[in-house]
Structure 1
């Protein structure tokens, strides 16, 4: 089978026929029709090819062209506000408090004098004197440990007569029969727990041979410890000439708390011994508010004193050690109330501050094609701090790898004093890829192919 093709002559003839309408004849009409049909098919094929090429090229570009990364919008979490600790100092002529184990929170000088009120002039000590007497005695006649009874003291007629001497003076006393005997430890206990003045003089005389020798040793002991603001003229505190400053007494309190025998005795609420009988500690605060000692003093209205120690569990790694003093308060009740209020304020000042909750929103990721995801805190966070210590916050994020739910993309860190708290930042939700239709219909949102 052969296919008829137009020769050049035939095409020329067709052109001439088309240009001269008068020469058309029925015989030539089929040739003209075939020529027109072929020309139309050629044009259609060319246009179709061009369109397909253009559409195919655009589609390929649109479906593979790069797109902009999701837009991040973020903010640091709000810094919580904290309230300053309430620390009402005792109403007295003088007071001071030292706190150990809290330097990172309270400052480098907290272990010396953290806060104080009133005068630093010497004031009457009253029976706090007996704590100094015990320290001087143990410096000269040390005991092996806190439970060591030590040597036996036998009381003479002169010792027994001290009972009457101090009874007449209105001082606290305890029975001391002539010829009775007691260990050094128990004698010190009777001097400190019920604050028996006759025992203070008897034991200090026994330790040094005379009151003159005791007072000489006391002056040397005070000088050796740099206690230049303290004066002792007798061993009991009944004389108002026994004086000290709040600053010196903080040092004396630390020395007493560090001496095992004294620390054990002053923490004893009550005691019963042959001779003196049943005795109660004059420091009724023992066991309240963390109080562990040390010694009361009383010279009458307006001259109530307390040198105290306390152990405060505030949630830190270790309990805080407190030494405090109050001099010249109006009553024993006011001393006790004010000290407990102060310690409660210190304790309450240490607290956990909530920082963020799990799922707390920190920002978002958005896209032109409508897909979005949240930037959230991955876990609850809080920080341990003191009072209104300033809290700072920093946030670091990185470009997500997949924009998938649960992907960790950074951290947020809070700092307060010596402590830091950190929580991860993660994506909540996932960014879906744009559809093919969106790509094809949003060329202006696509990158350069």
Structure 2
């Protein structure tokens, strides 16, 4: 074979077929192809994880979720007839007695009348509220104190005006039937329409055993239970302007005439009203409330006693209600369950990081033997920060609910920092 020229040699070299395929060569070739792509995807994933918005930090409770007071339920000095209940707002029922069945409540009915008027025509403490024109019927019915033996405000005349505050005072202090009916007509256009509002409101408040048929309570078909009236009383005393009215021992009407409150519990034992009611059929009835300062908080006690027929029925119901109120106040106790500086929870950054929070004050719960009080931790509607220095207040530790809530601020035990790159990279979801 003759020798190859230069061009022929080059062609021979470049046209050399590739080595035969083997499993090892296949693996190597695939690694060379996919490694850069995988690396690129990992880099993109890491960048995406790092740039994703962080979860919203949240407060979590680590302290006890409830606190129990030792012992059995308190024994209260209830009367031998009728029915009753007494509770502490936000904490629960301290005690009750009697059959929980609807009975006539007489002028205790006016509590709902006053509640609706104050709700729909509110005014602040120290104000008088809107003006209510006195109509001819209200003047006429003012004379029923002599002809029908009703409780009325007999000093009002057609063409006069009553402020809402004076009207509510007339309803809640001398228990003026004519003014209760007047405000019903003024508010709703008719007494019938107002009665519908009363029953609708009762349903809203969970008063399942109550039926209103008139705004004054003179009608014996208006019936309720002690438990239902306690619910209403708890709602009413949330309004401090209303409490300013119900706690009066006496009231002077616009003519200057003095009227005494039939509720004689004030001013003893922190009593703040609320409303008496009495008829021959209903007996003596009293929905009452009181404050007690204990454990660094003010607790609101609301009770009702219905169906007292021992003469004099109003004196009887006032006396037995006071005994129950005094006993309830005495059974309340305070217990410190968290000390200042105790770790009570954490700020959870959502990626596994937990920053402890501590109570900034002692937490003292209020209750009575046999009661369990639930606790919780809340940011109070404020967004927990992503970063903050140690000592920053980020929420509150609470015990109880509603008007009975006791709370202390909670603060960061150490600096709160955002999650590092590792937790950001490995998070799922």
TM-score range, shorter chain: 0.5 to 0.7
| CA deviation string 1:413-441 (max 9, x = no partner) | xxxxx9xxxxxxxxxxxxxxxxxxxxxxx
Structure-2 separation of matches of 1:161 and 1:82: 57
Structure-2 separation of matches of 1:210 and 1:301: 27
Q: Is the 8 A contact 1:88 1:341 kept in 2?
A: yes
Sort the Cα spacing of 1:351 and 1:224 in 2 relative to 1 into closer, same or farther, 3 A.
Answer: closer
Give 2:308's aligned residue. 329
Q: 2:81 pairs with 72, 82, 92, which one?
A: 92
Measured after TM superposition, the shift of residue 343 of structure 1 is 2.5
Q: Is the 8 A contact 1:350 1:384 kept in 2?
A: no
Structure-2 separation of matches of 1:351 and 1:225: 29
Q: Is the 8 A contact 2:269 2:326 kept in 1?
A: yes
Q: Is the 8 A contact 1:271 1:280 kept in 2?
A: yes
Sort the Cα spacing of 1:90 and 1:211 in 2 relative to 1 into closer, same or farther, 3 A.
Answer: same
Q: 1:203 pairs with 183, 191, 208, which one?
A: 183
Structure-2 separation of matches of 1:334 and 1:210: 35
Measured after TM superposition, the shift of residue 231 of structure 1 is 0.8
Measured after TM superposition, the shift of residue 284 of structure 1 is 1.1
Give 2:395's aligned residue. none
Structure-2 separation of matches of 1:243 and 1:278: 31
Measured after TM superposition, the shift of residue 100 of structure 1 is 3.4
SS at match of 1:319: strand
Give 1:338's aligned residue. 320
Any unmatched runs of 5+ in structure 2?
1-69, 336-363, 372-399, 401-429
Q: Is the 8 A contact 1:86 1:349 kept in 2?
A: no
| CA deviation string 1:21-58 (max 9, x = no partner) | xxxxxxxxxxxxxxxxxxxxxxxxxxxxxxxxxxxxxx
Q: Is the 8 A contact 2:226 2:306 kept in 1?
A: yes
Give 2:133's aligned residue. 154
Q: Is the 8 A contact 1:167 1:173 kept in 2?
A: no
CA RMSD after TM alignment: 3.0
With 295-304 and 246-255 compared, the bigger mean Cα shift is at 295-304
Sort the Cα spacing of 1:197 and 1:86 in 2 relative to 1 into closer, same or farther, 3 A.
Answer: same
SS at match of 2:277: strand
Sort the Cα spacing of 1:205 and 1:82 in 2 relative to 1 into closer, same or farther, 3 A.
Answer: closer
Q: Given the alignment of the two structures, is residue 299 of structure 1 paired with residue 288 of structure 2, yes or no?
A: no
Measured after TM superposition, the shift of residue 389 of structure 1 is 7.2
Structure-2 separation of matches of 1:158 and 1:287: 35
TM-score (structure 2 length as normaliser): 0.57
Measured after TM superposition, the shift of residue 119 of structure 1 is 1.1
With 118-127 and 340-349 compared, the bigger mean Cα shift is at 340-349
- Summarize the alignment of residues 37-436 of structure 1 with structure 2, pairs less than 5 Å apart: 86-100=75-89, 103=91, 110=92, 113-140=93-120, 142-165=121-144, 167-174=146-153, 175-275=155-255, 277-300=257-280, 303-313=283-293, 315-330=294-309, 331-350=313-332
Q: Is the 8 A contact 2:286 2:305 kept in 1?
A: yes
Structure-1 separation of matches of 2:82 and 2:295: 32
Measured after TM superposition, the shift of residue 386 of structure 1 is 7.1
Q: How many residues align?
A: 271
Measured after TM superposition, the shift of residue 351 of structure 1 is 6.4
Q: Is the 8 A contact 2:94 2:328 kept in 1?
A: no
Any unmatched runs of 5+ in structure 1?
1-80, 104-109, 354-382, 391-417, 419-449
With 315-324 and 265-274 compared, the bigger mean Cα shift is at 315-324
Measured after TM superposition, the shift of residue 306 of structure 1 is 0.4
Measured after TM superposition, the shift of residue 253 of structure 1 is 0.5
Q: Is the 8 A contact 2:152 2:177 kept in 1?
A: yes
Measured after TM superposition, the shift of residue 245 of structure 1 is 1.3
TM-score (structure 1 length as normaliser): 0.55
Runs of 4+ off more than 6 Å: 81-84, 383-390
Q: Is the 8 A contact 1:166 1:197 kept in 2?
A: no
SS at match of 2:297: coil
Structure-1 separation of matches of 2:158 and 2:125: 28
Measured after TM superposition, the shift of residue 154 of structure 1 is 2.3
Sort the Cα spacing of 1:350 and 1:325 in 2 relative to 1 into closer, same or farther, 3 A.
Answer: closer
